Amino acid sequence: MTDLTFHHLIPRKMHRRKRFQKLYSKEQLNQGIDICRLCHRGIHKIYDEMILANQFNSLQQLLNDEVLARHFSWVSKQKVKAEKRR
């Protein structure tokens, strides 16, 4: 099983900006999705926080993007490393 991380649909870096505070409630700013680490890393490598906040602030927008879709497809074909035993 792959570890999941929490991806804020509106990046936390944008939460302190007045424009986002006016447009969105605290609940909306804190909405996000659980996503695998490789997918999460790719999202932030492909797009900066401002683009994510303005253009990709919903799950559907993330899924509809061709560049991200290629990345997600690549990630789905990667072998999952075995979990470390404790």
Q: 24: which 2 tokens?
A: 């969105």
Contact 17, 31 (CB under 8 A): no
pTM of the model: 0.84
Q: 8: which 2 tokens?
A: 């804020």
* Domain residue limits, the chain: 4-76
Contact 43, 62 (CB under 8 A): yes
Which pLDDT tens digits describe the chain residue by residue (86 residues)?
568 999 999 999 999 999 999 999 999 999 999 999 999 999 999 999 999 999 999 999 999 999 999 999 999 999 876 555 44
